[in-house]
Amino acid sequence: MHHSEDVFKRRGEGGGSIEVICGSMFSGKTEELMRRLKRAKIARLSVGIFSPKADTRYSEDSLVSHNSNSISSMPVSKASAILAPGRQVQVVGIDEAQFFDDELPGICNQLANEGVRVIVAGLDMDFQGQPFGPMPAIMAMAESVTKLYAVCVKCGNPALYSYRLAPEDGQFLLGEKESYEPRCRQCYNQQ
């Protein structure tokens, strides 16, 4: 029996897919990822959850949303480390996908082609308003893209930008409310 047939028999009817949850900081991306993964568990599907090792703001081995909900996850140092354990489950969740290397889109595609439901959450733009890491490529391949919005702290409109308050230039400044705030397009451009 060919390997992919084995995978589909194990997973049951239906093929794999890629779902993306994106938006600015504080828009609820991790919350939505956790909601979908919890629903998969209720449906008795096997779930594997992965996050980048670099993101240890809250916990080394769990996803924690800004409002402190959590779910256990496996921190990995590179995207290729997701492939083998991802093949052992029916649903793969990936948080903070923008911090992964450029192999992530191919890994997601490979898992989906093998029958895995892949749910990816991450920032679609960095603090400069530019497409962030592997997210644009994953969004292009995805069956569905959900764009979430925060609330602009200046005017209350939907915010799609993560405005950096700290003066550091690097793209990967991990931080919380002291470092970033959500802003709409107009308020972001009025910096």
Which positions are catalytic? 96
Going by the DSSP 8-state scheme, the letter that residue 37 receives in this structure is H
Question: 129, exposed or middle or buried, with CB in 10 Å at 0-12, 13-18, 19+?
Answer: middle
CB 32 within 8 A of CB 119: no
Place of tokens 């083998």: 84
The Cβ of residue 65 has, within 10 Å, a number of other Cβ atoms equal to 18
The C-alpha atoms of residue 176 and residue 154 are separated, in whole angstroms, by 17
Question: 124, exposed or middle or buried, with CB in 10 Å at 0-12, 13-18, 19+?
Answer: buried
The C-alpha atoms of residue 160 and residue 146 are separated, in whole angstroms, by 13
The neighbouring-strand residues paired with 159 are 150
